[in-house]
């Protein structure tokens, strides 16, 4: 929770949106048209776009990165089968598993880790579950995969429960460690960072960290504020990740290129600066539309693209989750 010097006045948050300093900018935002607002609320993020036809592989030195199945997938081989971190989309699962077998020599998947429950991460759950593989996730991820889920941020409509065979068979409530094929693996819970059940996966021996939807080098990873995420959770997650990495640590996000530990530190600072700006907006009685108009992330647009959807969701998430001291 932010320090008490950033206290938000309750009457500012509850102020009538038709009056006060934010009224003009709200009207201006709405005058841009329903289509623009619809894009902010419902445009599919980069990780939900149609996957390319070809799955590519990149050798990470002890692990392999697979791209083109709907999200970045990391796999390592083992004598009793392979280990996967996330599974892409269901429509690409067969091609992905075939490529993992070709690249790692593993004829089956022993363990599949769902870092969170979005459909770009869980497409291989059913074939892995049917073949007897272990599916590992946070308890909240299992709950989402066992329920009908709505978002409006990450996807339109509703997401049906996964079949029982596709749901996690082992879960965690927090941090822990495991070993696979002689490789030490640490994992940690990042509350409210991207969803309500995100895990990071660390391979200390490989100097590699899989952080999934918490960061991206090429776009703005949205906050699923309809399902527990908020900007403060993103900031806390990056604070923790920044303590885990070295400058040359290889960091695998959910999409796009592999990042470095030095970039994680930069992202931590960037989001902390945004969080401070958002507290100021709330203190002035502003809403998400006002934040989009002010555009506090404009200096990064050339690097990560139009920040409107992320900015809207960031302040929206704070209005839902933030409790002042």
86 contacts 116 by C-beta, under 8 angstroms: no
Question: Between the CA of residue 106 and those of 77, 94, 181, 299, what are the distances in Å?
Answer: 6, 14, 12, 45
- Per-residue confidence (pLDDT) for residue 322, from 0 to 100: 76
The Cα 105–Cα 125 span in angstroms is 20
Residue 168, pLDDT > 70, answer yes
Please give the distance of CA 164 from its chain centroid, rounded to a whole number: 24
Token representation of residue 71 = 């999200």
| Angle (nearest 5°) at CA 47 between 49 and 235 | 150
**Per-residue pLDDT tens over the stretch 26-80:** 333 333 333 333 333 333 344 444 445 799 999 999 999 999 999 999 999 999 9
- Per-residue confidence (pLDDT) for residue 52, from 0 to 100: 52
- Per-residue confidence (pLDDT) for residue 221, from 0 to 100: 96
Of 43-57, 190-204, 214-228, minimum mean pLDDT range: 43-57
Domain ranges of the chain: 49-214
Token representation of residue 230 = 């908020």
Token representation of residue 31 = 């005058």
Span 114-120, mean pLDDT?
97
Residue 176, pLDDT > 80, answer yes
Mean pLDDT of the chain: 87
- Per-residue confidence (pLDDT) for residue 33, from 0 to 100: 35
193 contacts 317 by C-beta, under 8 angstroms: no
CATH number of this structure's domain 49-214: 3.60.15.10
For residue 93, give the nearest of 109, 76, 77 by alpha carbon: 109
Query: Who's near 168: CB < 8 A, 6+ residues apart?
Result: 114, 135, 136, 137, 141, 142, 145
Span 159-168, mean pLDDT?
98
**Per-residue pLDDT tens over the stretch 13-31:** 233 333 333 433 333 333 3
> Is 134 strand, coil or helix?
strand
The Cα 72–Cα 252 span in angstroms is 8
């Amino acid at each position: 929770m932010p320090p008490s010097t950033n206290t938000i006045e309750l009457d500012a948050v509850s102020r009538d949106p038709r009056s006060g300093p934010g009224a003009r900018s709200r009207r201006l935002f709405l005058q841009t048209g329903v289509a623009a607002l619809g894009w902010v609320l419902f445009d599919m993020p980069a990780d939900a776009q149609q996957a390319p036809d070809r799955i590519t592989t990149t050798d990470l030195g002890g692990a392999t990165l697979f791209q083109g199945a709907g999200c970045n997938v990391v796999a390592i081989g083992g004598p009793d089968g392979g280990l996967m971190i996330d599974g892409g989309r269901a429509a690409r699962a067969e091609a992905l598993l075939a490529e993992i077998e070709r690249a790692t020599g593993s004829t089956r998947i022993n363990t599949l880790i769902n870092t969170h429950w979005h459909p770009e991460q869980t497409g291989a759950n059913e074939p892995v579950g049917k073949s007897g593989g272990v599916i590992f996730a946070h308890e909240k991820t299992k709950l989402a995969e066992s329920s009908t889920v709505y978002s409006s941020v990450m996807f339109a409509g509703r997401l049906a429960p996964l079949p029982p065979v596709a749901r996690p068979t082992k879960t965690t409530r927090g941090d822990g460690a495991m070993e696979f094929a002689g490789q030490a693996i640490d994992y940690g819970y990042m509350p409210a960072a991207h969803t309500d059940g995100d895990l990071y996966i660390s391979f200390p021996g490989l100097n590699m960290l899989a952080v999934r939807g918490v960061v991206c080098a090429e776009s703005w990873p949205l906050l699923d504020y309809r399902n527990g995420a908020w900007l403060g959770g993103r900031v806390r997650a990056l604070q923790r990740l920044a303590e885990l990495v070295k400058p040359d640590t290889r960091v695998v996000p959910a999409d796009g290129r592999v990042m470095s530990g030095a970039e994680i530190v930069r992202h931590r600072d960037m989001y902390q600066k945004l969080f401070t700006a958002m507290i100021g907006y709330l203190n002035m009685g502003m809403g998400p539309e006002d934040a989009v108009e002010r555009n506090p992330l404009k200096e990064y647009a050339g690097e990560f693209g139009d920040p409107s959807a992320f900015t809207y969701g960031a302040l929206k998430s704070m209005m839902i989750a933030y409790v002042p001291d």
